[in-house]
Amino acid sequence: MILSIKDLTVSHGEKTIVDHVSLTIDKGEWFALVGQSGSGKTMLSQAIGQLLGPNLRASGSVNYQESNILACSKTEMNQLRGKAISYIFQDYHGSFTPFLTIQQHMDEYLQTHGVKEKQKRNSMAKEALESVGLDAGFVKRYPFQLSGGQLQRASIALALLLEPDILVADEATTALDSVSAHRILSLLQELQQKTGCAILFITHDWRHVVRYSDKIAVMKDGKIIEVGTKQKLIHQPEHAYTKQLIQAAPTLPLRVREVSKS
C-alpha cells in the first residue's frame, strides 16, 4: 500500500463535497476513480496534495509512508509534491508559463527539489522529454510552439521528472481527440511499468477505465459507492448506479454492457 485515505471529508461552509471517503492504493497500481461531473472526484484528488482553495476545508487523513499529508506544513508539502506525489491536470496548458522555455520550467522544478548541478538538470530534462517521445531539442522550445499533444507529453515529462511514487491524472486526456488520448494513456502505462509508480486516474470515460485500470472506485454525490478490481466491477457490478454508468457508456463492448444489466 502506497496511499491510504481514511474518512476524508471536504467541505465548503456547511456544504459537504467529499463525504467520509476511504480508499487504499497499492504501489504500481492503476486506480481509476470514476463518476459523473460534480461527483467530487477532483476535490478528492486536490485534497490529497493539499491543493484545495482557501474556502475549502479537509478533514480525515491521507497517509503516505505513515505520515498524514493533511497535517504537513507548507514547506513539507513543497518537498512532497513532485517527489512523492505529482499531478497531470486536465488544463495542462496551465502547467506552463508561455514565455519560459521547457528547459526553464524543468530547471526551476529541479532546483526547487535540490538538484544543484546545472549539467545534471539539463541531462534530466532531456532524458525526461525523450522518455515521452519528444526529441531533446524540445527543451529550447516555448510552450506556444508545441501542439496540444506535444504539450501534454511535456506536462507528463514534468510530472514524472523526479519519478514520484504516486501520479494523479485528473481528466488528463479530456481535451484530446480519441487517438491522441489513447497514445497518451499508452505512454503513461509504459512509464508506469518503467518507474513502478501508482496512478490515480480520475475520469468519466469508461473506455479508458476498461483498457487501463487495475482497480476501480465509483463516486457519486461525494461518496464512494463501490470499489473493486476491474474484472469484478465491470462484469459483476453490485450497485445500481454503477450498472447505470456502464449501460450508458455507448463505446463499451456490448457484452460488457449486457453483463451489467444482470
Q: Where are the beta strands (DSSP E) in 26-136?
A: 30-34, 57-64, 67-68, 85-88
- The listed CATH number (3.40.640.10, 3.40.50.2300, 3.40.50.300, 3.40.50.720) that belongs to domain 3-97+166-261: 3.40.50.300
Pairing of strands 15-25, 3-12: antiparallel
Q: What is the pTM of this model?
A: 0.89
pLDDT band per the 50, 70, 90 thresholds, residue 179? confident
pLDDT band per the 50, 70, 90 thresholds, residue 174? confident
What single-letter DSSP state applies at residue 116?
Answer: -
- Residue 29 in this model has a pLDDT that exceeds 50: yes
- Residue 9 in this model has a pLDDT that exceeds 60: yes
Percent above pLDDT 70 for the chain: 94
pLDDT tens across 190-202, in order?
989 888 999 999 9
Average pLDDT of the residues of the chain: 89
> Which one is predicted more confidently, 90 or 250?
90
Mean pLDDT within 190-217: 92
pLDDT band per the 50, 70, 90 thresholds, residue 154? very high
Pairing of strands 166-170, 198-203: parallel
Pairing of strands 67-68, 57-64: antiparallel
